[in-house]
A and B are shown apart, each in its own frame.
Chain A
């Protein structure tokens, strides 16, 4: 998902004849599934697209802390509180791993952060939707993490070594996220009338935004070809979306919840569900900054950064003083 809206900066896929010797050798390595490492030669477009993609992925993890963090202080039991806190903490860790992967491409975490904070870089639009009742925490784990995992599992095989290694670590850690979400949904769906209502309400609001996570339809996505040739995008948006729907609908049925789509129907011939497209106008609105929570999210991230400046500076100043003392003592 996090990779699905990144425009590659390459000017379309070059044919073999158009490639320089270096470019051809580079493409050969990718075709042979040999990982590209930080010090290897790489086309400038590959480097730039990766910085944008990994950066956007990292930002999504960090901003993604906010909607779930919204419920940490209201979690209904001690165990739920601990699980949710551990999960949101994981998102911070995943952001950290990804920033580190981007840093191997010659950009600093601070630079990336500033680009997020002043709006030059984006994050996944899903995190601009609110979490309004406790079942949303279940639905975020079940649907949003479910969609993320679908996208991230293939990215473990991506061509850039540090990115691939970060994704392997992230996928390993994420395996509990979706399960804890579904576990909450089961409790809610089997609970009181009020809890069932919460569960259905959460599904109603988060279904289409989850489908949007895979990005616009392939027929409208002009930049995918180069990213796929470079193996920094592994599957098409529509393929992943179809896979997600096929996997999720039976899970909703098991919960006794209704997917909010009148056109949802099993299609025997294609071996998958037919379903309604999300409202792409809404998607682009959210992307432009007009989602329900865009302003709040950026305000919070900016506040954390600005209010933390004196802490970062203070600890650095102390470390420098100590280093001077240490050198003097030697």
Chain B
């Protein structure tokens, strides 16, 4: 399959799986305003999924749709970063995961606005507006809770400690990323790390949180080599109707 296919799949699987996770909050958030805001984030991510997986399906060329890709692949065929599939945990962990992803996502989309592939830059143009807001909101919340009460501070530090080992994967290129960068399709992943670290350092300082020293990184999601056990459970819910009633139109 083409580099563009692989690349679009990775972008689309990130937003699909993270959007799914965020949507789990609907009706359960700490306060109505947050419930509504989280749903907006999830809606943006689902919308972006339709675009990325739509592009992947088009590139794949066998008449599949974005829905086919979302609902009829098994775990080993998914290419999302592990960070996206981790369980929500408490509200703090969800927002920390969102923030860690959003900062990367925004840098990525800004770079993709200059992609040599118009279909990619078009999606990036639309998504960058949405994600600029996501990161504003998740950053404020991470800061607010980090610098809130003793309890909220403790929970946010725990969330950061738990999630940080999943950050490195976002910046670890493989053959697909190298090919995408060489074709001008996407940026060199590693080049996003410095501005990311800078943004994180500023946010965590304001949030009075400490970034873990270790740069150890879990990986395997983006390449499909090894996901967490959580992904399978997401798929059993998400894909159930399509799997149980093949061929039905919904």
Contacts and interface: CB of A to CB of B under 8 A. Distances in A.
A307 B43 contact: no
A327 interface: no
Contact of A303 (B16, B24, B28, B40): B28
A255 interface: no
A315 B27 contact: no
A73 B20 contact: yes
A318 B151 contact: no
Interface centre among B29, B90, B237, B249 (most CB of A within 10 A): B249
A89 B91 contact: no
Given A69-B28, A78-B46, 17 more contacts: A65-B27, A66-B27, A72-B23, A74-B241, A77-B71, A78-B67, A82-B50, A85-B42, A85-B43, A86-B39, A96-B32, A307-B91, A308-B91, A310-B149, A313-B149, A315-B145, A318-B148
Nearest to B50: A78
Contact of A73 (B31, B32, B90, B238): B238
Given A78-B49, A80-B250, A85-B42, A310 B28 contact: no
Contacts of A312: 30-31
A319 B98 CA distance: 21
Interface centre among B28, B53, B237 (most CB of A within 10 A): B28
A92 B241 CA distance: 26
Contacts of B91: 307-308, 311
Interface in A280-330: 300, 303-305, 307-319, 321
Given A93-B36, A318-B147, A77 B90 contact: no
Contacts of A20: none
Interface of B: 16, 20, 23-24, 26-36, 39-40, 42-43, 46-47, 49-50, 53, 66-67, 70-71, 90-92, 141, 143-145, 147-149, 151-153, 155, 234, 237-238, 240-242, 245, 247-250
Contacts, number: 149
Given A73-B23, A78-B49, A92-B27, A319 B39 contact: no
Contacts of B42: 85
Sorted nearest first, the 3 A-B pairs with minimum C-beta distance are: A308-B30, A314-B152, A314-B148
Interface magnitude class on chain A: 35 or more
A201 to B, nearest CB: 14
* Interface SS, A side: helix
A142 interface: no
Contact of B36 (A89, A191, A192): A89
A187 interface: yes
A192 B39 CA distance: 32
A134 interface: yes
Interface centre among B36, B39, B42, B90 (most CB of A within 10 A): B39
Interface centre among B35, B46, B49, B50 (most CB of A within 10 A): B35
A227 to B, nearest CB: 27
A243 to B, nearest CB: 30
Contacts of A204: none
Nearest to A311: B30
A32 interface: no
30 contacts: A62-B27, A73-B237, A73-B238, A74-B237, A76-B248, A78-B46, A78-B70, A81-B46, A85-B23, A85-B39, A85-B43, A85-B46, A86-B43, A89-B26, A89-B39, A96-B32, A96-B36, A191-B248, A191-B249, A307-B30, A308-B30, A310-B155, A311-B152, A312-B31, A313-B148, A313-B152, A314-B153, A315-B141, A318-B143, A321-B147
A104 B175 CA distance: 61
A318 B147 CA distance: 6
Contacts of B152: 310-311, 313-315, 317
B238 A74 contact: yes
B27 A318 contact: no
A22 B147 CA distance: 52
A79 B29 contact: no
A95 interface: yes
Given A315-B148, A318-B143, A76 B242 contact: yes
A304 B29 contact: yes
Contact of B145 (A65, A77, A318): A318
A194 B148 contact: no
A125 B92 CA distance: 33
Contacts of B43: 82, 85-86, 89
A316 B240 CA distance: 41
A213 interface: no
Interface in A180-195: 184, 187, 191-192, 194-195
A191 B241 CA distance: 14
Nearest to B31: A312
B46 A314 contact: no
A195 B249 CA distance: 9
Contacts of B49: 78
Interface in A220-255: none
Given A77-B71, A89-B40, A92-B39, A304 B30 contact: yes
A73 B67 CA distance: 14
Contacts of A76: 71, 241-242, 248, 250
Contacts of A304: 27-30
A199 interface: no
Contacts of A82: 43, 46-47, 50
